[in-house]
Amino acid sequence: MSLVTIKRTDALLALCRGVVPRRVETDGNFEDWEIIGPALVAIAADLFEGIMAFPPPRGRVRAEVLARSLAEYAIGFAWLAPEEGRADRIKRFLKDEYREREKTENRLVNEIVPREKPYGPLLQPGGPIPRSLLSEEMKLKIAGLLGDESVVMPPNTLLMAVEADEAWLDRIEWVTKYPFAFIYTTTFGSMSSITHPSITSINRVVTVQGGDTVVGMPAPLESASGPYGGGYLALLSIIWIAAATFGWPDPDEIRAAMNVT
């Protein structure tokens, strides 16, 4: 039997909907794992539902774009989740986002706003291109965290996967079977070039039919699973770690969803 089936997909999504959305006690600080963890589970489940809504061959490229994102969510969740050192990793996670926000702001202010031609009329008040993306309050927050040398930037996605494996391989049997290095290689890495114009993405929609080259029809999957199996493995990895971290879902319920026939 295929690893991922319609019944298993429905069972896994039902399992996720049973645990998120959920009410949490928090002071509203987005460094709170009680917000971050459930939010990432909810987004991952939504991405997986999207993947399964785009069957091959026509939906293959869309599914691969979503599967690559889901793999990144799985790796990030697994890297953040271990209790030891979690608060520090969350600060690093936030610092990385602040750095990217600052980069985007600087590109707008330094590279687009000065170009009166051709953007001058579009930069006028009420025009479609803003002159800034960040409030003064947010700029101060970003400057404060980016200037804190005690908070280092997070590792790249590959090293996140390796560190996640170091944390979970001895604790969760599922991760022993499908480590995050595997998810990185087979889903994140192999599908990353599909998320932007590339030779690989173009190749996905070029086929040979009866001796003719046809452009615009997605090629058949080279393997039985592709983004569908990859997405299934990534979401299950998140669910198993959520069970170990939060105590939900119940492990017996996870096994039941995995073994639906």
For position 1, what pLDDT does the model report? 42
Strand ranges (E), the chain: 206-209, 212-215
Query: What is the C-alpha separation between 86 and 91, in angstroms, rounded?
Result: 9
From the list 223, 185, 239, 232, the residue with the least C-alpha distance to 70 is: 232
For position 72, what pLDDT does the model report? 98
For position 223, what pLDDT does the model report? 63
From the list 256, 251, 228, 232, the residue with the least C-alpha distance to 240 is: 251
Q: Which two tokens stand for residue 92?
A: 């690093």
Which residues neighbour 220 within 8 Å (Cβ) at sequence distance 6 or greater? 56, 57
For position 2, what pLDDT does the model report? 62
Query: What is the C-alpha separation between 259 and 245, in angstroms, rounded?
Result: 23
Q: What does each of the 261 residues of the chain score in pLDDT, given as a tens digit? A: 467 899 999 999 999 999 999 999 888 787 899 999 999 999 999 999 999 999 988 999 999 999 999 999 999 999 999 999 999 999 999 999 999 999 999 999 999 999 988 999 999 989 999 999 999 999 999 999 999 999 999 999 999 999 999 999 999 999 999 999 999 999 999 999 999 999 999 999 999 989 999 999 888 887 657 999 999 999 999 999 999 999 999 999 999 999 998
